[in-house]
Structure 1
Amino acid sequence: MATARTENPMSILGLNQPNGQHRGLSKPVGPSLGPLATAPQPHGSQKGGSIPQGSGGIRFGDDWKKCLQLPAKDCRVRTSDVTSTKGNEFEDYCLKRELLMGIFEMGWEKPSPIQEESIPIALSGRDILARAKNGTGKSGAYLIPLLERIDLKKDHIQAMVMVPTRELALQVSQISIQVSKHLGGVKVMATTGGTNLRDDIMRLDETVHVVIATPGRILDLIKKGVAKVDKVQMMVMDEADKLLSQDFVVLIEEIISFLAKGRQILLYSATFPISVQKFMAKHLSKPYEINLMDELTLKGITQYYAYVTERQKVHCLNTLFSRLQINQSIIFCNSTQRVELLAKKITQLGYSCFYIHAKMMQEYRNRVFHDFRNGLCRNLVCTDLFTRGIDIQAVNVVINFDFPKNAETYLHRIGRSGRFGHLGLAINLITSEDRFNLKSIEDQLTQKTRRSAASMTSSVQHKRRRVGVWHSSVLLPAAHKHSE
């Protein structure tokens, strides 16, 4: 696929507006292929039943659970990443009844390992440094104690969640609103760059309890005196490794300088850079450390690679679409131009396809993210903008059309599949130029993962038997086999 620069990429794509939505042949995501990210139909709910609104706590003999509108039960197989728990229940943490209602109506039946470890510590007010795998419930691990500690009698900002991308900010705010819907008045606000600053200023003129923000925008609002954060009691850093990178760390430290000294700071991520030690020593007070990352790979995700030339990639992708049962797929490219060109090519092959990247207008990014999340399209082509924390349960296939250059990016990319312990597939299209990055990433991700060849599926030809994590699939006739 050509990568030459053009003066007007949009004219090449034949789009009047860069809204990231290509439409090929109508291939709707059907229910027969598995549950999607759309709002599930409630079952067992009592229409018109009144939901008790107490002051918090569970009283013996209450039948409040019968009034809940629960989503359809998810019966898919889950890995030990989310099932190896201590057997705790959400009721064990003495949460408000109204908060428990929101938790159960989200479909969260029992706390995952990271939630078991994190929730009681966060409720105690202690700083936390938590490392857990992608898709194991980190958002719930900090949002549940955050919402529990909100005092509705106070009309100032009480908690902040820092995230590195606008899409993640929207996702976290949506989860917060859903979980807190029975609490009776928790005001959640998302503020990110690329949106109207005046709207944010007007919103902050009213009561706001929780702010979910990207660092640049919230710092701007703080400096203007609009966002008053001197009474914030809890600050969460989601995808903390990215927030502690050179792109954000200066902004984060400046934001912290406006907070009260007694504030609580919680850091969550799947990977942590060495710089976290310096940050922890400077800003955290005796943090409680949680490490649920004994191995770097994700148990529920099977990883394949196929050696191809650059010209064979699109043909190989077409083969995958025709052979695999895909609920929804995310396809990663290394540049915005390649994202748009590939999206056009996929559409020409007859498949519906959306695309998203950082150079698009925020309005279009929001629309694409919302529509893809709601299952309106099966395939999404994107840059690494979409690697951070994005949780779309229906995504079961991730394809690295362009192979990443480091292990951290690779982990976050494939982590978009197999969410919350479900099974997923990661397929990597490797050219001769990628072989060094492949070797480097393989070495980093398999230092603690050494599976025997006997544990592999019989439908796969085993390459690199030394570690047994990467496979070359017989389903890819377009791929040239690598000679070792």
Structure 2
Amino acid sequence: MATTTANPSALNGMNKASNGQLRGPPFGPHAAIQQANPPLSKTSFPQSSGGIKFGADWKNSLELPPKDTRVRTTDVTSTKGNEFEDYCLKRELLMGIFEMGWEKPSPIQEESIPIALSGRDILARAKNGTGKSGAYLIPLLEKIDLKKDHIQAMVLVPTRELALQMSQITIQLSKHLGGVKVMATTGGTNLRDDILRLDETVHVVIATPGRILDLMRKGVAKVNQAQMMVMDEADKLLSQDFVVLVEDIISFFPKERQILLYSATFPMSVQLFMSKQLQKPYEINLMEELTLKGITQYYAYVTERQKVHCLNTLFSRLQINQSIIFCNSTQRVELLAKKITQLGYSCFYIHAKMMQEYRNRVFHDFRNGLCRNLVCTDLFTRGIDIQAVNVVINFDFPRSAETYLHRIGRSGRFGHLGLAINLISSEDRYNLKTIEDQLVTDIKPIPSSIDKSLYVAEFHSLHTHTHHQEEEEEEERPEIQEVGLV
């Protein structure tokens, strides 16, 4: 049941804004935000050849991003020691990989890339933020044949924002390949533009289910010669919302096709789909535990009326690089975003009822570091990878363990550190215990002071993190009334 506001005055009394961009004052002295992503265009992305001449020193010609010196957890460092060169990839693709800042394969990439290159179907479970995108995009791009002018691969994702993000990553990875044509197609954009774009050469389509199925039924998006289909966030794609659409989409593919499924959670719907659609899939399971090792989880026990005050306290005490704040309804997202702005903090908001052009703008401006805080619904829980986010706050506690897992996975990306803070009212207490048990994780009462080495890169070293964890294990769990922040 959605959380109701016991004290409407805490959130109400503000003018309505529709574009999701509510600006507070400029960032403070600790506002270093990574700005690595170019602006996103609407639906299609032209490519150009890098024109690189290879020699023995080809790596010296690469435009590498600044080296990431942050300590990483074993979620991404516990590898077999493979290198990307070990997979016999095209040198032009290797150039794109290294220029993304990807130095060595993560565990899911090590397990996945050689199997995907061999042509087998894959069913892969891995934590959010451990490199699943690279695990399927690298073999997908390696297999693209530029001599063929038809759609050769499709990546299916559940949200428009994730489609745009995946398009950007695909373009960046393939920029030296000499003309791979990548297209994003999602609902909420001009259908005519997509039809015109598909009249030209497209090799890779990144799509949400409803829009691409419409284009397929119209005979515009032809996949009868496509060899690979990827389903990212497969559990969501195979939920009741999408599963009929997905099965219709697959019916347009040739019988001899390769299907790759990636997700952090695999409910029964995935198992049923696997037995029906996949051919002897190679199963990968890197989920000995569900939550990322680098995320420290706390709860603050508050009344509904205290939530905004508690949030204000967190903003003043935490060193936030960027934060994502989750609410359980679109109305509460807008009200809270305006309240945060009134308190003097920079804030954007995003939810599914906004116009698509506003959603696109908010999403890509937040990725580029133009705002520190983003308030959103669960629209933003799936696969969204913003490296600068180091704090996630559940203003409204989620209703399920699966939603909780995806929400907190927006911080601590790719083995880095992050903080997840949950504002818990009396009606959430049972849910908190249930989610702890289901995820086999520990959500601790919030202390009066949070060690910056747990979530701020420049304060962290491997020694301090290990030492702090040992100290915490020895401490007794304080009573719920002793929460110091509210």
Q: Secondary structure at the match of 1:398?
A: strand
**What is the 5 A alignment of 1:23-422?**
23-27=23-27, 32=30, 36-39=34-37, 52-53=52-53, 62-422=56-416
What TM-score does the superposition give when structure 2 sets the normalisation length? Answer: 0.88
Q: Deviations over 1:103-152 (max 9, x none)?
A: 00000000000000000000000000000001000000000000000000
Aligned mates of 1:411, 1:237 — CA distance in 2: 19
| Contact 2:297–2:420 (8 Å) recurs in 1 | yes
Q: Distance in 2 between matches of 1:462 and 1:37?
A: 41
CA root-mean-square deviation:
2.7
Cα deviation digits, residues 407-463 of structure 1 (max 9, x gap): 00000000000000000000000000101111110111117999xx99455599753
Displacement of 1:13 = 3.9
1:89 is aligned with what amino acid? E
Q: Within 1, Cα distance between the matches of 2:146 and 2:418?
A: 41
Segments of structure 1 that go 5 or more residues without pairing to the other structure are 41-49, 55-60, 465-470, 479-484
| Distance across 2 between alignment mates of 1:64 and 1:474 | 59
Equivalent position of 2:485 in the other structure: 477
For 1:439, the aligned partner's letter is K
Partner amino acid, structure 1, of 2:199: D
CA distance in 2, matches of 1:336, 1:425: 24
Q: Hey, what does 2:15 align to over in structure 1?
A: 14
Alpha-carbon distance in structure 2 between the residues aligned to 1:172 and 1:200: 17
Cα deviations by residue, 1:185-234 (Å, 9 ceiling, x for unpaired): 00000000011000000000000000000000000000001100111100
What code does the residue aligned with 1:26 have?
P
Aligned-pair distance for 1:51? Answer: 5.8
Q: Which amino acid aligns with 1:463?
A: R
* 1:445 has 2:439 as partner: yes
Per-residue deviation, 1:14 = 2.3
Instruction: State whether residues 296 and 448 of structure 1, in contact with CA within 8 Å, keep that contact through their aligned partners in structure 2.
Output: no
Counterpart in 1 of 2:447?
A: none
Which AA in structure 2 matches 1:328?
Answer: Q
Q: Deviations over 1:2-61 (max 9, x none)?
A: 74999xx9x96424x511011112226x6x555514359xxxxxxxxx96356xxxxxx7
Pair 1:463-2:477 in alignment: yes
Q: Secondary structure at the match of 1:355?
A: strand
Aligned equivalents of 2:136, 2:247: Cα separation in 1 = 20
Deviation per CA, 1:140-171, whole angstroms, max 9, x where unpaired? 00000000000000000000000000000000
Would the aligned equivalents of 2:7 and 2:304 in 1 still touch at CA under 8 Å? no
**Aligned counterparts of 1:3 and 1:432: Cα–Cα separation in 2:** 13
In structure 2, relative to structure 1, the CA distance for the partners of 1:324 and 1:447 (3 Å cut) is closer
Q: What is the letter of the counterpart of residue 18 of structure 1?
A: S
Q: Which consecutive unaligned segments of at least 5 residues does structure 2 have?
A: 39-49, 445-466
Instruction: Spell out, residue by residue over 1:67-120, the C-alpha distance to the aligned partner (whole angstroms, 9 max, x if none).
Output: 000000000110000000101000000100110000000000000000000000
Q: Distance in 1 between matches of 2:35 and 2:7?
A: 36
**Which amino acid is 2:112 matched to?**
S
Distance 2:146 2:480 in 1: 56
Q: TM-score, normalised by structure 1?
A: 0.88
Alpha carbons of structure 1 residues 475 and 457: separation in structure 2 relative to 1, 3 Å = farther
State the shift of 1:476 in Å: 3.8
Cα deviation, 1:260-316, whole Å, max 9, x if unaligned, reads 000000000000111212111110000000000001121000000010000000000
Distance 1:26 1:445 in 2: 38
CA contact (8 A) 2:237 2:243 kept: yes
Asked if 1 retains the 8 angstrom alpha-carbon contact of 2:322 and 2:373, the reply is yes
Find the aligned partners of 1:474 and 1:393 in 2 and give their Cα distance. Answer: 33
- SS of 2:94's equivalent? helix
- Residues 448 and 416 (structure 1), Cα distance of their counterparts in 2 relative to 1, 3 Å cut: closer
Q: Deviations over 1:340-391 (max 9, x none)?
A: 0000110011001000000000000000001000000000000000000000
The 8 Å contact of residues 234 and 262 in structure 2, kept in 1 or not, is answered as yes
Distance change in 2, residues 1:111/1:472 (3 Å): farther
Change (3 A) 1:462 1:210: farther
The answer on whether the counterparts of 1:157 and 1:232 sit within 8 Å (CA) in structure 2 is: yes
User: For residues 446 and 224 of structure 1, what CA distance do their matches in structure 2 show?
Assistant: 47
User: Is the contact between residue 187 and residue 208 of structure 2 (CA under 8 Å) also seen in structure 1?
Assistant: yes
* Distance in 1 (alpha carbons) for counterparts of 2:469 and 2:212: 49
Answer yes or no: is the 8 Å Cα contact 2:71–2:416 preserved in 1. yes
Residue 47 of structure 1 is matched in structure 2 by none
- Cα distance in 1 for residues equivalent to 2:121 and 2:295: 32
Count of aligned positions: 450
Q: Is the contact between residue 6 and residue 304 of structure 2 (CA under 8 Å) also seen in structure 1?
A: no
Pair 1:405–1:456, CA change in 2 (3 A) = farther
Residue aligned with 1:304, SS: strand
Q: Is the 8 A contact 2:33 2:369 kept in 1?
A: no
Sort the Cα spacing of 1:351 and 1:3 in 2 relative to 1 into closer, same or farther, 3 A: same
